Protein backbone atom coordinates (compact mmCIF):
# COMPACT_ATOMS: atom_id res chain seq x y z
CA UNK A 1 0.00 0.00 0.00
CA UNK A 2 2.85 2.44 0.71
CA UNK A 3 3.80 2.19 -3.01
CA UNK A 4 0.41 3.57 -4.09
CA UNK A 5 -0.11 7.17 -5.12
CA UNK A 6 -2.13 9.45 -2.85
CA UNK A 7 -5.62 9.04 -4.31
CA UNK A 8 -5.38 5.26 -4.27
CA UNK A 9 -4.16 5.29 -0.66
CA UNK A 10 -7.11 7.49 0.33
CA UNK A 11 -9.70 5.13 -1.17
CA UNK A 12 -8.24 1.74 -0.21
CA UNK A 13 -5.60 2.36 2.47
CA UNK A 14 -6.07 0.64 5.82
CA UNK A 15 -9.16 -1.33 4.75
CA UNK A 16 -9.80 -4.52 6.76
CA UNK A 17 -12.79 -6.65 5.82
CA UNK A 18 -14.94 -8.75 8.13
CA UNK A 19 -16.13 -12.29 7.29
CA UNK A 20 -18.85 -10.71 5.07
CA UNK A 21 -16.35 -9.02 2.72
CA UNK A 22 -18.26 -5.74 2.74
CA UNK A 23 -17.30 -3.09 0.16
CA UNK A 24 -17.83 -0.04 2.37
CA UNK A 25 -15.83 -0.09 5.60
CA UNK A 26 -17.76 -1.65 8.48
CA UNK A 27 -18.73 0.40 11.52
CA UNK A 28 -17.80 -1.69 14.55
CA UNK A 29 -20.09 0.16 16.94
CA UNK A 30 -19.01 -1.88 19.92
CA UNK A 31 -17.32 -0.84 23.13
CA UNK A 32 -15.89 -4.28 23.86
CA UNK A 33 -14.78 -7.61 22.38
CA UNK A 34 -15.50 -11.21 23.43
CA UNK A 35 -12.68 -13.61 24.29
CA UNK A 36 -13.04 -17.30 23.33
CA UNK A 37 -11.54 -18.42 26.62
CA UNK A 38 -10.25 -17.04 29.90
CA UNK A 39 -6.75 -17.88 28.73
CA UNK A 40 -7.23 -15.74 25.61
CA UNK A 41 -8.39 -12.79 27.72
CA UNK A 42 -5.34 -13.15 29.95
CA UNK A 43 -2.99 -13.36 26.96
CA UNK A 44 -4.52 -10.29 25.29
CA UNK A 45 -4.02 -8.12 28.38
CA UNK A 46 -0.34 -9.17 28.41
CA UNK A 47 0.19 -8.41 24.74
CA UNK A 48 -2.38 -7.20 22.20
CA UNK A 49 -1.57 -8.39 18.68
CA UNK A 50 -2.74 -7.00 15.34
CA UNK A 51 -6.50 -7.37 14.81
CA UNK A 52 -6.93 -7.99 18.52
CA UNK A 53 -8.92 -5.55 20.63
CA UNK A 54 -9.82 -5.19 24.29
CA UNK A 55 -11.93 -2.08 24.77
CA UNK A 56 -12.85 0.81 22.47
CA UNK A 57 -11.01 3.34 24.66
CA UNK A 58 -7.80 1.44 23.74
CA UNK A 59 -8.65 0.75 20.10
CA UNK A 60 -11.40 -0.37 17.71
CA UNK A 61 -11.28 -1.88 14.18
CA UNK A 62 -13.07 1.05 12.48
CA UNK A 63 -10.87 3.55 14.32
CA UNK A 64 -7.78 1.53 13.32
CA UNK A 65 -8.78 1.69 9.64
CA UNK A 66 -8.94 5.49 9.89
CA UNK A 67 -5.57 5.63 11.69
CA UNK A 68 -3.90 3.38 9.13
CA UNK A 69 -5.36 5.23 6.14
CA UNK A 70 -4.18 8.67 7.25
CA UNK A 71 -0.78 7.33 8.39
CA UNK A 72 -0.35 5.99 4.88
CA UNK A 73 -1.23 9.40 3.41
CA UNK A 74 1.25 11.22 5.67
CA UNK A 75 4.01 8.65 5.38
CA UNK A 76 3.93 8.33 9.19
CA UNK A 77 4.92 5.12 10.95
CA UNK A 78 1.85 5.22 13.17
CA UNK A 79 -1.19 7.27 14.19
CA UNK A 80 -3.62 7.62 17.09
CA UNK A 81 -7.15 8.93 16.58
CA UNK A 82 -8.77 11.16 19.19
CA UNK A 83 -12.24 12.47 20.07
CA UNK A 84 -11.48 15.96 18.73
CA UNK A 85 -8.64 18.10 17.44
CA UNK A 86 -8.15 19.53 20.92
CA UNK A 87 -7.87 16.03 22.44
CA UNK A 88 -5.07 15.50 19.92
CA UNK A 89 -3.25 18.75 20.76
CA UNK A 90 -3.59 18.32 24.53
CA UNK A 91 -2.78 14.59 24.38
CA UNK A 92 0.36 15.04 22.30
CA UNK A 93 1.72 17.84 24.53
CA UNK A 94 0.68 16.46 27.92
CA UNK A 95 1.95 12.94 27.23
CA UNK A 96 5.34 14.37 26.22
CA UNK A 97 5.89 16.99 28.93
CA UNK A 98 6.50 17.01 32.66
CA UNK A 99 7.09 19.64 35.34
CA UNK A 100 10.33 21.54 34.77
CA UNK A 101 10.25 21.19 30.98
CA UNK A 102 10.45 24.21 28.71
CA UNK A 103 8.34 24.70 25.57
CA UNK A 104 8.73 27.26 22.79
CA UNK A 105 5.53 28.05 20.91
CA UNK A 106 4.43 30.38 18.16
CA UNK A 107 2.09 33.01 19.61
CA UNK A 108 -0.41 33.07 16.73
CA UNK A 109 -2.58 30.13 17.80
CA UNK A 110 -6.15 28.87 17.70
CA UNK A 111 -7.79 30.03 20.95
CA UNK A 112 -7.98 26.57 22.58
CA UNK A 113 -4.36 25.74 21.65
CA UNK A 114 -3.29 28.99 23.31
CA UNK A 115 -5.32 28.08 26.40
CA UNK A 116 -3.54 24.73 26.74
CA UNK A 117 -0.10 26.32 26.47
CA UNK A 118 -0.78 29.48 28.47
CA UNK A 119 -3.21 28.29 31.14
CA UNK A 120 -2.98 24.49 31.50
CA UNK A 121 0.61 23.35 30.93
CA UNK A 122 1.96 26.22 33.05
CA UNK A 123 -0.25 25.07 35.95
CA UNK A 124 1.69 21.80 35.98
CA UNK A 125 5.12 23.44 36.06
CA UNK A 126 5.88 23.61 32.34
CA UNK A 127 7.46 26.89 31.26
CA UNK A 128 6.33 28.29 27.91
CA UNK A 129 8.05 30.97 25.79
CA UNK A 130 5.99 32.51 22.99
CA UNK A 131 7.68 33.77 19.82
CA UNK A 132 6.69 35.28 16.48
CA UNK A 133 6.50 32.06 14.47
CA UNK A 134 7.70 33.64 11.24
CA UNK A 135 10.90 34.99 12.89
CA UNK A 136 13.58 32.27 12.76
CA UNK A 137 15.92 34.42 14.86
CA UNK A 138 13.30 34.50 17.63
CA UNK A 139 12.97 30.68 17.56
CA UNK A 140 16.77 30.36 17.76
CA UNK A 141 17.03 32.82 20.64
CA UNK A 142 14.28 31.07 22.63
CA UNK A 143 15.85 27.57 22.57
CA UNK A 144 17.39 26.31 25.82
CA UNK A 145 19.09 23.07 26.82
CA UNK A 146 15.87 22.12 28.71
CA UNK A 147 13.56 22.90 25.76
CA UNK A 148 11.61 19.67 25.40
CA UNK A 149 9.11 20.63 22.69
CA UNK A 150 8.23 23.30 20.17
CA UNK A 151 4.66 23.87 19.04
CA UNK A 152 3.17 25.86 16.18
CA UNK A 153 0.35 25.97 13.66
CA UNK A 154 2.06 25.72 10.26
CA UNK A 155 -0.52 28.19 8.91
CA UNK A 156 -1.96 30.40 11.61
CA UNK A 157 -5.58 31.14 12.35
CA UNK A 158 -6.98 33.62 11.33
CA UNK A 159 -4.11 35.72 9.93
CA UNK A 160 -2.71 32.90 7.76
CA UNK A 161 0.99 33.34 8.48
CA UNK A 162 3.00 30.41 7.16
CA UNK A 163 5.73 28.97 9.38
CA UNK A 164 8.81 27.29 7.93
CA UNK A 165 8.51 23.69 9.18
CA UNK A 166 11.94 22.58 7.95
CA UNK A 167 13.82 25.57 9.40
CA UNK A 168 12.06 25.54 12.79
CA UNK A 169 12.51 21.75 13.03
CA UNK A 170 16.24 22.10 12.42
CA UNK A 171 16.52 24.77 15.14
CA UNK A 172 14.48 22.65 17.59
CA UNK A 173 16.40 19.46 16.85
CA UNK A 174 19.70 21.22 17.60
CA UNK A 175 18.68 21.20 21.30
CA UNK A 176 16.92 17.82 21.08
CA UNK A 177 13.38 19.25 21.26
CA UNK A 178 10.37 17.41 19.79
CA UNK A 179 8.58 19.34 17.04
CA UNK A 180 4.78 19.23 17.38
CA UNK A 181 2.91 20.80 14.45
CA UNK A 182 -0.80 21.59 14.24
CA UNK A 183 -1.22 21.27 10.48
CA UNK A 184 -4.97 21.93 10.14
CA UNK A 185 -4.90 25.00 7.88
CA UNK A 186 -2.17 23.52 5.64
CA UNK A 187 -4.30 20.37 5.22
CA UNK A 188 -2.92 16.84 4.74
CA UNK A 189 -3.43 17.34 0.98
CA UNK A 190 -0.94 20.21 0.54
CA UNK A 191 1.52 19.67 3.38
CA UNK A 192 3.76 16.81 4.36
CA UNK A 193 5.06 18.09 7.68
CA UNK A 194 6.78 14.83 8.64
CA UNK A 195 8.86 14.82 5.47
CA UNK A 196 9.80 18.44 6.25
CA UNK A 197 11.10 17.58 9.71
CA UNK A 198 8.17 17.61 12.15
CA UNK A 199 8.18 14.81 14.75
CA UNK A 200 4.48 14.89 15.66
CA UNK A 201 1.74 16.11 13.32
CA UNK A 202 -1.80 16.87 14.46
CA UNK A 203 -5.04 17.42 12.58
CA UNK A 204 -8.48 18.36 13.74
CA UNK A 205 -10.33 15.84 11.55
CA UNK A 206 -13.43 17.96 12.22
CA UNK A 207 -12.18 20.29 9.49
CA UNK A 208 -11.12 19.11 5.99
CA UNK A 209 -11.01 15.38 6.79
CA UNK A 210 -14.72 15.21 7.54
CA UNK A 211 -15.21 18.21 5.27
CA UNK A 212 -18.97 18.20 5.60
CA UNK A 213 -19.44 19.53 9.12
CA UNK A 214 -20.79 16.35 10.69
CA UNK A 215 -18.48 15.03 13.37
CA UNK A 216 -15.64 15.91 15.75
CA UNK A 217 -12.36 14.03 15.53
CA UNK A 218 -8.61 14.37 15.71
CA UNK A 219 -5.48 12.50 14.72
CA UNK A 220 -1.88 12.41 15.95
CA UNK A 221 0.78 11.10 13.54
CA UNK A 222 4.35 10.22 14.48
CA UNK A 223 6.87 7.41 14.88
CA UNK A 224 5.82 4.04 16.30
CA UNK A 225 8.01 4.89 19.28
CA UNK A 226 6.16 8.12 20.11
CA UNK A 227 2.65 6.81 19.36
CA UNK A 228 2.95 3.49 21.23
CA UNK A 229 5.61 4.44 23.79
CA UNK A 230 4.66 7.99 24.83
CA UNK A 231 1.16 8.77 23.61
CA UNK A 232 -0.87 5.56 23.82
CA UNK A 233 -0.43 4.94 27.56
CA UNK A 234 -1.58 8.51 28.22
CA UNK A 235 -4.53 8.48 25.79
CA UNK A 236 -5.92 5.10 26.70
CA UNK A 237 -6.04 5.95 30.40
CA UNK A 238 -7.28 9.53 30.05
CA UNK A 239 -10.11 8.67 27.69
CA UNK A 240 -9.94 10.89 24.60
CA UNK A 241 -10.81 8.00 22.23
CA UNK A 242 -12.51 8.62 18.88
CA UNK A 243 -15.95 7.01 18.53
CA UNK A 244 -16.13 4.23 15.90
CA UNK A 245 -19.00 6.01 14.16
CA UNK A 246 -17.01 9.24 13.85
CA UNK A 247 -13.99 7.24 12.64
CA UNK A 248 -16.18 5.87 9.87
CA UNK A 249 -17.28 9.40 8.89
CA UNK A 250 -13.59 10.40 8.74
CA UNK A 251 -12.66 7.31 6.67
CA UNK A 252 -15.32 8.26 4.13
CA UNK A 253 -14.09 11.87 4.23
CA UNK A 254 -10.56 10.78 3.36
CA UNK A 255 -11.84 9.09 0.17
CA UNK A 256 -12.79 12.47 -1.31
CA UNK A 257 -10.43 14.85 0.51
CA UNK A 258 -8.05 15.56 -2.40
CA UNK A 259 -10.94 16.36 -4.75
CA UNK A 260 -12.66 18.63 -2.25
CA UNK A 261 -9.61 20.44 -0.91
CA UNK A 262 -8.10 21.05 -4.35
CA UNK A 263 -11.40 22.47 -5.61
CA UNK A 264 -11.76 24.66 -2.50
CA UNK A 265 -8.18 25.96 -2.77
CA UNK A 266 -8.60 26.74 -6.47
CA UNK A 267 -11.75 28.68 -5.64
CA UNK A 268 -10.02 30.45 -2.71
CA UNK A 269 -7.15 31.52 -4.97
CA UNK A 270 -9.58 32.96 -7.52
CA UNK A 271 -11.60 34.79 -4.85
CA UNK A 272 -8.46 36.24 -3.23
CA UNK A 273 -7.22 37.48 -6.60
CA UNK A 274 -10.58 39.07 -7.43
CA UNK A 275 -10.91 40.92 -4.12
CA UNK A 276 -7.27 41.92 -3.53
CA UNK A 277 -7.22 45.73 -3.59
CA UNK A 278 -11.05 46.02 -3.41
CA UNK A 279 -11.97 49.53 -2.17
CA UNK A 280 -13.95 48.11 0.79
CA UNK A 281 -10.93 46.16 2.08
CA UNK A 282 -7.95 47.22 4.19
CA UNK A 283 -6.21 43.92 3.39
CA UNK A 284 -6.80 40.59 1.68
CA UNK A 285 -4.84 37.81 3.40
CA UNK A 286 -4.29 34.62 1.43
CA UNK A 287 -1.04 32.60 1.31
CA UNK A 288 -1.53 31.91 -2.40
CA UNK A 289 -1.28 35.61 -3.29
CA UNK A 290 2.08 36.80 -4.62
CA UNK A 291 1.83 39.73 -2.16
CA UNK A 292 1.60 37.39 0.88
CA UNK A 293 4.67 37.81 3.13
CA UNK A 294 5.51 34.07 3.01
CA UNK A 295 4.51 33.36 -0.59
CA UNK A 296 8.01 32.03 -1.41
CA UNK A 297 7.68 29.51 1.43
CA UNK A 298 4.19 28.58 0.19
CA UNK A 299 5.84 27.53 -3.09
CA UNK A 300 8.32 25.16 -1.41
CA UNK A 301 6.33 23.96 1.62
CA UNK A 302 2.82 23.75 0.16
CA UNK A 303 3.48 23.19 -3.54
CA UNK A 304 2.25 26.72 -4.25
CA UNK A 305 -1.21 26.06 -2.79
CA UNK A 306 -2.58 28.71 -0.45
CA UNK A 307 -5.15 26.53 1.31
CA UNK A 308 -8.92 26.84 1.61
CA UNK A 309 -9.24 29.85 3.93
CA UNK A 310 -8.77 33.55 3.29
CA UNK A 311 -9.14 36.53 5.59
CA UNK A 312 -10.66 39.85 4.54
CA UNK A 313 -10.07 42.96 6.63
CA UNK A 314 -13.09 45.13 5.94
CA UNK A 315 -12.87 48.93 6.16
CA UNK A 316 -15.10 50.33 8.90
CA UNK A 317 -14.28 47.88 11.72
CA UNK A 318 -16.78 45.72 13.57
CA UNK A 319 -19.85 47.57 12.31
CA UNK A 320 -18.90 47.09 8.67
CA UNK A 321 -17.87 43.47 9.30
CA UNK A 322 -21.27 42.73 10.85
CA UNK A 323 -23.08 44.42 7.93
CA UNK A 324 -21.04 42.23 5.58
CA UNK A 325 -21.89 39.03 7.48
CA UNK A 326 -25.59 39.85 7.67
CA UNK A 327 -25.74 40.64 3.93
CA UNK A 328 -24.30 37.30 2.77
CA UNK A 329 -26.76 34.99 1.03
CA UNK A 330 -24.65 31.87 0.34
CA UNK A 331 -21.94 31.53 2.99
CA UNK A 332 -23.19 30.85 6.49
CA UNK A 333 -22.10 32.61 9.67
CA UNK A 334 -20.46 29.91 11.75
CA UNK A 335 -17.04 28.86 13.05
CA UNK A 336 -16.02 25.60 11.38
CA UNK A 337 -13.70 25.56 8.37
CA UNK A 338 -12.83 23.17 5.58
CA UNK A 339 -16.55 22.47 5.13
CA UNK A 340 -18.38 21.96 1.81
CA UNK A 341 -20.42 25.02 2.82
CA UNK A 342 -18.60 28.35 2.77
CA UNK A 343 -18.36 29.72 6.29
CA UNK A 344 -17.64 33.26 7.43
CA UNK A 345 -16.40 34.02 10.95
CA UNK A 346 -15.72 37.27 12.82
CA UNK A 347 -12.75 36.14 14.96
CA UNK A 348 -12.60 39.24 17.19
CA UNK A 349 -16.08 38.60 18.65
CA UNK A 350 -16.20 34.77 18.47
CA UNK A 351 -13.22 32.38 18.18
CA UNK A 352 -10.75 34.94 19.58
CA UNK A 353 -13.15 36.89 21.84
CA UNK A 354 -11.23 35.76 24.96
CA UNK A 355 -8.06 37.61 23.92
CA UNK A 356 -7.36 41.08 25.31
CA UNK A 357 -7.49 44.05 22.92
CA UNK A 358 -3.67 44.23 23.06
CA UNK A 359 -3.33 40.54 22.17
CA UNK A 360 -5.76 40.98 19.27
CA UNK A 361 -3.74 43.91 17.91
CA UNK A 362 -0.47 41.97 18.35
CA UNK A 363 -1.90 39.01 16.41
CA UNK A 364 -3.40 41.17 13.66
CA UNK A 365 -7.01 40.31 14.58
CA UNK A 366 -8.48 43.63 13.47
CA UNK A 367 -12.07 44.59 14.34
CA UNK A 368 -13.02 44.36 10.66
CA UNK A 369 -11.35 41.00 10.00
CA UNK A 370 -13.49 38.22 8.52
CA UNK A 371 -12.18 34.65 8.17
CA UNK A 372 -13.72 33.07 5.09
CA UNK A 373 -13.54 29.30 4.64
CA UNK A 374 -14.20 28.58 0.98
CA UNK A 375 -16.65 25.74 0.34
CA UNK A 376 -17.60 23.73 -2.69
CA UNK A 377 -20.19 26.13 -4.11
CA UNK A 378 -19.71 27.56 -7.61
CA UNK A 379 -16.87 30.11 -7.49
CA UNK A 380 -18.71 32.71 -9.57
CA UNK A 381 -21.73 32.52 -7.25
CA UNK A 382 -19.46 33.10 -4.26
CA UNK A 383 -17.76 36.05 -5.95
CA UNK A 384 -21.13 37.63 -6.77
CA UNK A 385 -22.36 37.14 -3.20
CA UNK A 386 -19.15 38.51 -1.66
CA UNK A 387 -19.29 41.51 -4.01
CA UNK A 388 -22.77 42.52 -2.91
CA UNK A 389 -21.98 41.84 0.77
CA UNK A 390 -18.86 44.04 0.57
CA UNK A 391 -20.95 46.78 -1.01
CA UNK A 392 -23.49 46.43 1.81
CA UNK A 393 -20.69 46.67 4.38
CA UNK A 394 -19.88 50.22 3.28
CA UNK A 395 -23.47 51.45 3.01
C1 LIG B 1 -10.37 23.50 14.94
C2 LIG B 1 -8.95 23.52 15.29
C3 LIG B 1 -8.46 22.80 16.38
C4 LIG B 1 -9.36 22.03 17.31
O5 LIG B 1 -10.07 21.01 16.70
P6 LIG B 1 -11.46 20.45 17.28
O7 LIG B 1 -11.73 19.27 16.43
O8 LIG B 1 -12.46 21.55 17.18
O9 LIG B 1 -11.22 20.09 18.72
C10 LIG B 1 -7.11 22.86 16.65
N11 LIG B 1 -6.27 23.58 15.88
C12 LIG B 1 -6.71 24.27 14.81
C13 LIG B 1 -5.74 25.05 14.00
C14 LIG B 1 -8.06 24.28 14.48
O15 LIG B 1 -8.49 24.98 13.43
Q: What is the sign of the dihedral through the CA atoms of 104, 105, 107 and 111?
A: negative
3-state secondary structure 10-31: HHHCCCCCCCCCCCCCCCCCCC
Which atom of ligand 1 is closest in space to residue 88's alpha carbon?
Answer: 9
pLDDT of res. 111: 87
- Average pLDDT over every residue of 157-165: 95
User: In angstroms, rounded to a whole number, what is the distance separating the alpha carbons of residues 177 and 318?
Assistant: 41
* Residue 338 near ligand 1, beta carbon < 6 Å: no
pLDDT of res. 166: 98
Summarised one tens digit per residue, pLDDT across range 313-323 is 999 999 999 99
pLDDT of res. 2: 82
Q: Whose Cα sits closest to atom 11 in ligand 1?
A: 110
Summarised one tens digit per residue, pLDDT across range 215-250 is 999 999 999 999 999 999 999 999 999 999 999 999
Task: Find the angle CA(333)-CA(307)-CA(158) to the nearest 5 degrees.
Answer: 50
Helix, strand, coil percentages (3-state) for the chain, rounded to 5, are 40, 15, 40
- Asked whether 298 and 287 are in contact (CB, 8 A), the reply is yes
Q: What are the backbone angles phi and psi of residue 134, rounded to the nearest 5°?
A: -90, -5
- Asked whether 201 and 221 are in contact (CB, 8 A), the reply is yes
User: In angstroms, rounded to a whole number, what is the distance separating the alpha carbons of residues 179 and 156?
Assistant: 16
Pocket test residue of 114, 184, 345 for ligand 1, highest count of atoms within 8 A of CB: 184
The predicted model scores a pTM of 0.96
* Residue 86 near ligand 1, beta carbon < 6 Å: yes
User: In angstroms, rounded to a whole number, what is the distance separating the alpha carbons of residues 87 and 90?
Assistant: 5
Amino acid sequence: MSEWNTRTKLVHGGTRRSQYNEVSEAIFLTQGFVYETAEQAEARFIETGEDEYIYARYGNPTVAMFENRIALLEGAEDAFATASGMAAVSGALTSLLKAGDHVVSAKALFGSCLYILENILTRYGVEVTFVDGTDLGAWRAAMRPDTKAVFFESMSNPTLEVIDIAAVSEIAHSVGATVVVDNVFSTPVFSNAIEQGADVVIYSATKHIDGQGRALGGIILSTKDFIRGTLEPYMKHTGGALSPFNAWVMLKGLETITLRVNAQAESAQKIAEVFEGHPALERTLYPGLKTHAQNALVQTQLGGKGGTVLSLDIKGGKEAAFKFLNAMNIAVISNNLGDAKSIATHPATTTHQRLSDDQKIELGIAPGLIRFSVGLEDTDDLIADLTQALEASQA
